[in-house]
Amino acid sequence: MISFVLAWIARLVSGATVKWTAPLVPNRQRVYFANHASHLDFVLIWSALPPIMRARTRPVAGSDYWGKGVIRRYISTKVFNAILIERAGAAGSASHAKESINAIANGMGADNSIIVFPEGTRSMNGEILPFKSGLFHLCGLKPELELVPVYLANMNRILPKGEVLPVPLIGRVIVGAPMRYEAGEDKAIFLARARDAMLALKAQ
């Protein structure tokens, strides 16, 4: 119930229209990966999904923000059933990152999809940052996953990093065609391919 209200608010504030560039089959385990500019992002993507898919889609969020405080913790874990991970940060070690990937894979189980932001943090100016390697390592564990690029337009203007109050400009959610990790694909090549697929949606 609260999730529906929040999704409605996110849609109202962002005025977002949703554009599907390719049909998606329901009931398939997939990773929606999107550019990240605002705290509204995951709610907005979640609200763009058909209700039947929402119930099985868990956002992946940094526990350093979404795990702090009663309200944030309630919204992230109870309302949206988020998978909270500790972000590696600059001093993050390899074992630390591995732990996070395992936590995500466990959280996905056999039939949950996830929403991730592979840039790892919110972009300041709307430019898309290089992808962190989490997406690659997750595909190593679960190579069968369908990877769906999502481009969020204008969210960096609606609620930029560091601002508390949103302005009512019009956002857009553009959902791309699913792609897959190809066995043995090089990490840098794969991440660049995924990023390009997301960037290509910008022109849609």
Residue 169 is a binding residue for other proteins (CB under 8 A): yes
Residue 170 is a binding residue for other proteins (CB under 8 A): yes
> Of 180, 196, 195, nearest to 143 (Cα)?
180
> Of 183, 184, 182, nearest to 193 (Cα)?
182
Residue 102 — φ and ψ, nearest 5°?
Answer: -60, -40
- Binding-site member from 4, 5, 12, 17 for other proteins (CB under 8 A): 17
The least distance separating other proteins from the CB of residue 38, rounded to whole angstroms, comes to: 11
Residue 183 is a binding residue for other proteins (CB under 8 A): no
- Binding-site member from 2, 167, 189, 199 for other proteins (CB under 8 A): 167
Q: Looking only at Cα atoms, what is the longest distance across the chain?
A: 45
Q: Site mask, other proteins, residues 135-154, x = CB under 8 A?
A: -------------------x
The nearer residue to other proteins, 2 or 124, going by C-beta atoms, is: 124
Stretch that binds other proteins, among 50-58, 66-74, 137-145, 166-174 (CB under 8 A): 166-174
- Binding-site member from 64, 144, 163, 196 for other proteins (CB under 8 A): 163
The nearer residue to other proteins, 100 or 123, going by C-beta atoms, is: 123
Structure tokens of 37? 């500019």
Residue 125 is a binding residue for other proteins (CB under 8 A): yes
Task: Give the residues lining the site for other proteins (CB under 8 A).
Answer: 15, 17, 124-125, 154, 156-157, 160, 163, 165, 167-170
